[in-house]
């Protein structure tokens, strides 16, 4: 069990740790070289890490509308919505799963997004299946609004939205 962890913006010094964390989570996220992943973090509207005295425990990157991000899943939302934050990736170290890191990152993203967006958006792999992520996102209030095949039909994703509190009111 984790004693304490904090959230902060991604820094350049985090590049090796976030790349290792990301690439340990393949196939649930796509593998990226350190420079490419840090480049995404610099481009993202939201790029945060969870850290404790042992290092990086988790990370989240999210993009708003109109980003010059060439992701098929991101573009699906960008073509249909004008007020959203798309969670490109959320990754938690195996040793920190079930300790609240993912929930805390999502709570922080929600607070960040409330004055900027109507929706949180994400995708979850259905092929290859990622049932843990699907349960996690459904428990947070995300609902499937579409599906698409990616990577030449080798992957299938569920496209999900969650309304932010001002959208519910």
CATH number, position 156: 3.40.630.30
Per-residue pLDDT, 153: 86
- Helical (H) or strand (E) element with 120: strand 119-127
Measured CA to CA, the distance from residue 34 to residue 144 in angstroms comes to 31
- Per the structure block, which two tokens stand in for 134? 């699907």
What is the number of domains present in the chain? Answer: 1
Pick from 78, 103, 40, 96: which is nearest to 159 by CA?
78
Q: Which residues constitute the domain of residue 18?
A: 6-168
- Residue 101 inside a domain? The answer is yes
- Residue 129 inside a domain? The answer is yes
The better pLDDT of the pair 47, 31 is held by: 47
Per-residue pLDDT, 3: 66
- Taking only the tens place, the pLDDT of each residue in 87-137 is 999 999 999 988 999 999 999 999 999 889 999 999 999 999 999 999 999
State yes or no: pLDDT of 25 exceeds 60.
yes
- Residue 154 inside a domain? The answer is yes
- Residue 1 inside a domain? The answer is no
- Residue 100 inside a domain? The answer is yes
- Residue 39 inside a domain? The answer is yes
pLDDT-based confidence at residue 28 (cuts at 50, 70, 90): confident
- Residue 83 inside a domain? The answer is yes
Measured CA to CA, the distance from residue 28 to residue 30 in angstroms comes to 7
């Amino acid at each position: 069990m984790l004693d304490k962890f904090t959230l902060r913006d991604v820094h350049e010094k985090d590049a090796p740790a976030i790349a290792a964390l990301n690439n340990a989570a393949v196939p649930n996220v796509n593998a990226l070289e350190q420079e490419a992943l840090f480049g995404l973090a610099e481009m993202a509207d939201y790029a945060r890490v969870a850290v404790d005295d042992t290092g990086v425990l988790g990370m989240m990157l999210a993009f708003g509308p109109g980003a010059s991000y060439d992701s098929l899943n991101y573009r699906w939302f960008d073509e249909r919505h004008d007020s959203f934050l798309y969670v490109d990736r959320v990754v938690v170290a195996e040793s920190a799963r079930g300790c609240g890191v993912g929930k805390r990152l999502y709570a922080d993203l929600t607070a960040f997004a409330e004055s900027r967006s109507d929706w949180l958006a994400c995708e979850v792999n259905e092929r290859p299946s990622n049932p843990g992520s699907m349960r996690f996102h459904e428990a947070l209030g995300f609902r499937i609004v579409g599906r698409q095949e990616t990577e030449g039909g080798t992957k299938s994703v569920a496209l999900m939205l969650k309304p932010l509190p001002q959208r519910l009111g």
